[in-house]
């Protein structure tokens, strides 16, 4: 598995989510975005901590309580549980490749409107 391999993206218009591995109960996911964003007014309210790294391209994470955080290539960000956030923007050229590390969930997660 190569983090920069974009073959799974070909022909798709939606984001691509792939579970890579689970280490010590923590799930590591790769997300390939090509300009998508979370619908306006939708916030992720997660029961688990998530740490993200942009390994290619760039993206913007918005928090309900502010501020927006622009992540360039290589930038990382902690998303503490229940800190409501959304992806406000992602690059399309090049595609934005995220690594997302999800801590163990304590309850069901939800995206709320």
Take residue 32 and report the two structure tokens written for it.
Answer: 């390939």
Instruction: Spell out, one character per residue from 5 to 24, where the chain touches a second copy: x when CB under 8 A holds, - when not.
Output: x--------------xx-xx
- In angstroms, the CA 95 to CA 74 distance is 14
CB of 48 to a second copy, least distance (A): 7
32-91 residues in contact with a second copy (CB under 8 A) are 48-51, 53, 55, 72-76, 78
Establish if 109 lies at the interface with a second copy (CB under 8 A).
Answer: no
CB atoms within 10 A of CB 80: 12
Establish if 111 lies at the interface with a second copy (CB under 8 A).
Answer: no
Pairing label, strands 85-90, 69-71: unpaired
Establish if 29 lies at the interface with a second copy (CB under 8 A).
Answer: no
Is the separation of the CB atoms in 48 and 104 below 8 Å? yes
């Amino acid at each position: 598995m190569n983090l920069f391999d974009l073959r799974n993206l070909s022909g798709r218009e939606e984001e691509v989510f792939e579970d890579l591995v689970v280490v010590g109960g923590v799930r590591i996911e790769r997300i390939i975005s090509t300009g998508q964003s979370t619908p306006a007014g939708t916030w992720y309210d997660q029961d688990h901590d998530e740490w993200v790294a942009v390994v290619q391209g760039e993206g913007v994470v918005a928090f309900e309580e502010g501020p927006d955080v622009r992540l360039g290539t290589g930038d990382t960000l902690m998303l503490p549980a229940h800190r409501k956030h959304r992806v406000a923007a992602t690059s399309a050229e090049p595609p934005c490749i995220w690594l997302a590390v999800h801590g163990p969930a304590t309850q069901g997660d939800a995206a709320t409107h």
